[in-house]
Amino acid sequence: NRQGAIKVEPKVFFANERTFLAWLHCAVLLAGASIAIMSFAETDMAGQLYGVTLLPVSIAFMTYAMSQYARRSSMIRRRAPGPYEDITGPTVLGIVLMLSILAQFSIKLYNVMH
């Protein structure tokens, strides 16, 4: 069974780069929010914790973006048939982001009650 070479159009490369940039955009926004929160809460320890809980989430977004971009670029260069989509990564990152926000809310609630 002989298969022909899979033709890869330039728009596929650009789509991969656009997706990578979109993920990096989210990561930079999260990192910026983290740094802004930490800088505005100079003396408030709870405010510092808000920023600190958001920074690892931002780093996770950046790491995921880079790993997916590299994986997909390699697959495109090799002309691999796929699958190119990833369902678990965005789901895990969404859950981690929600847990981070929940942790920030819990810290704030604890400080208000005590």
At 41-90, the pLDDT tens digits run 878 887 788 888 899 999 999 999 999 999 999 999 988 887 889 999 99
Task: Tell me the pLDDT band of 29, cut-offs 50, 70 and 90.
Answer: very high
- Assess whether pLDDT exceeds 50 at residue 92: yes
Task: Note the pLDDT of residue 73.
Answer: 94
> Could you say which DSSP state residue 2 is in?
-
Cβ neighbours for 97, distance < 8 A, ≥ 6 positions apart? 30, 57
Task: Note the pLDDT of residue 6.
Answer: 67
Task: Note the pLDDT of residue 1.
Answer: 42
Task: Note the pLDDT of residue 57.
Answer: 95
Task: Look at 64 and 7; give whichever has higher pLDDT.
Answer: 64
Q: Please return the burial class of 78, using the count of CB atoms within 10 Å of its CB with bins 0-12, 13-18 and 19+.
A: exposed
